[in-house]
A and B are shown apart, each in its own frame.
Chain A
Amino acid sequence: MRKFSIIAAGTFVSLAIASNAFAADCDSDVVLVRGSSASQKLIEAVAKVAAGQGVKIVYSNSGSSCVGGVYEAVTPAAATTGRAATANTAFDAAAPSATCTMNPPRAADIGVSDVYASSCAGVAGVGDTTLPAGVTDTLGPVQAFTLAVYDDPSFPVAISAASAFNILGITARGGDASFNVAPWTVVADIFGRAEDSGTWQTWSRNLGLITQKPVTTPAAGAGAVLAALNTANRASAIGIIALNDIVPTAGVAPKVRPLAFKAKDQDFAYYPSSTSTSSDLINVRDGHYQTWANLHFFARKDTAGDYSASVKKVLGLLESKDAVAAVTKIRAVPSCAMQVSRSSDGGDFKAYTPAAPCGCYFEATASGTAPTTCKTCTVGDNSTCGSTGQCVFGYCEAK
């Protein structure tokens, strides 16, 4: 009986390993999206909406914006080097958690980056970042990037750009210890990312650091930073991570929280949202929280100047009501809810008015209740919104 149990257990393990190692080939009609680890949850959100409309997205986590999204954009589609063939996450309405393998490896249909292509120049083997003819850059949802710590009430709640500059620049580079900023004084407990990471590029460009000198021993990805903050010497640990990576997974919230951030020339520090516990992300949206970036969706057009039908559908979904709701729930900001924009990573803000603003719907979805200043309306009927208003996703917004 005991011998049988051991054999059965061994068989089960063998089958499990085999299943994982030999994922089925991906269908030929999938939309292959390759991009940064920070973008994965956003892609998942969009992919679930796309799956409901018959478009299957396969996501390949390249680990970084430059190696993934930008490489895919600037490298000719016919090139075979650098194309990932490892098991990917497939989003199929019939099998939402399936994985598959690109066989043979091929160029992604959409490369996703946290940063502009130009930010990857000279990084991780990416040379010229000029987008080839026919490759477009569609701005997607906005991610807030945070300096985060373990969630202990005795730990600091805010940090200034000057302190962050020293922590990520001086201390972590093994420089003069006099530049240290308590309690983040232990080099081994400062968790940055590699230079090809959009998270690093965004922070370094906003702080004025040298973009190609990331912190020592960068974490392998967003998940690694999250895990490190949970397990390292918590009192002295700090890391850079996208806000949408600090969301509950399977109902369990990570014990990590973002610090309020005070930018250069700013008088106070601000959380991404109006308070540490709210979810309106108003400070990202109106320019009080400095460290954010749009996702970039790089896609190729054919010689006739058109996207493939499925790619066109995916790009068209980015600002759909379902995608806006999905993106909002993972603590990112759809472009339609932004009030400021920027044209380079770390660049200055400009006032931004979307063609169809969705601030009311965003806040209603994020917090469960629309602000009292928001007025409901019937989609397609602008009459209740006055001469200067329009009905967007069921709320009156500025025209």
Chain B
Amino acid sequence: MFKRTPILVTFAFLTLAAGTFVACTDDSSSAVGGASSGNPLNPGTDSGTPPVTGDGGPGPGPGGGCPNKPAGCFCGTPTTQKEFLNRCTNAAALPVTLTPKAATTADIP
């Protein structure tokens, strides 16, 4: 019993550390969208990760730390539009499952 405790503690620590690493992505790339679909709004990103909801409260303001949610959020100091839009927050984050047909302004008569 006494020999197992350090192992369990170590395992728990590694699990938490790995979880933190996965949840918080420091993606500083300024690249936008994924593979080009011809749609300037990249509908391919409409679905994916499960919903993560928050219960309100202020976001990661000065000195507020990083709440590490929703999944894949950006924890650092944002400098690109993509980083601002995906910054970690306590706010409710809703998945959007609509998959519209790819379109461009050229399709508008």
Contacts and interface: CB of A to CB of B under 8 A. Distances in A.
A373 interface: yes
Interface string B26-46: 000000110000011111011
Given A268-B52, A339-B61, A175 B108 contact: yes
Max chain A CB contacts within 10 Å: which of B32, B33, B62, B90? B62
B17 interface: no
A264 B91 contact: no
Interface stretch (A68-76, A161-169, A189-197): A161-169
Nearest to B95: A268
Nearest to B54: A274
A157 B63 CA distance: 32
Contacts of A351: 77-79
B98 interface: yes
A288 B87 contact: yes
A282 interface: yes
A166 B101 contact: yes
A179 interface: yes
Nearest to A359: B61
Contacts of A398: 62
Contacts, number: 183
How many A residues touch the partner, as a band?
35 or more
A282 B91 contact: yes
Contacts of A265: 32-33, 42, 45, 81-82, 85-86
Given A160-B98, A165-B103, A175-B108, A340 B84 contact: yes
B6 interface: no
B68 interface: no
B42 A162 contact: yes
A213 to B, nearest CB: 6
B108 A274 contact: no
Contact of B58 (A271, A290, A373): A373
A232 interface: no
Interface in A274-302: 274-276, 278, 280, 282-283, 285-288, 290
Interface residues of B, number: 55
A275 B55 contact: yes
A287 B90 contact: no
A208 to B, nearest CB: 5
Nearest to A360: B58
Contacts of B46: 160, 162-163, 262
Given A210-B108, A213-B108, A158 B96 contact: yes
B59 interface: yes
A363 B56 CA distance: 12
A120 interface: no
Nearest to B37: A162
A81 interface: no
Interface string A198-223: 00000000011110010000000000
Chain A to chain B: the 4 pairs with minimum beta-carbon distance, closest first = A268-B93, A162-B43, A287-B84, A274-B91
Given A265-B81, A269-B93, 14 more contacts: A160-B98, A207-B41, A267-B71, A270-B92, A273-B56, A274-B92, A275-B54, A278-B56, A280-B57, A283-B91, A287-B85, A287-B87, A349-B78, A373-B64
Interface of B: 32-33, 39-43, 45-46, 48-49, 51-52, 54-64, 70-73, 77-82, 84-87, 89-96, 98, 100-103, 105, 107-109
Interface of A: 157-163, 165-166, 169-170, 173-176, 178-179, 181, 207-210, 213, 260, 262-271, 273-276, 278, 280, 282-283, 285-288, 290, 339-340, 348-349, 351, 359, 363, 371, 373, 398
13 contacts: A157-B94, A158-B95, A165-B41, A166-B103, A170-B108, A264-B40, A270-B93, A271-B91, A275-B56, A280-B57, A282-B59, A286-B87, A288-B59
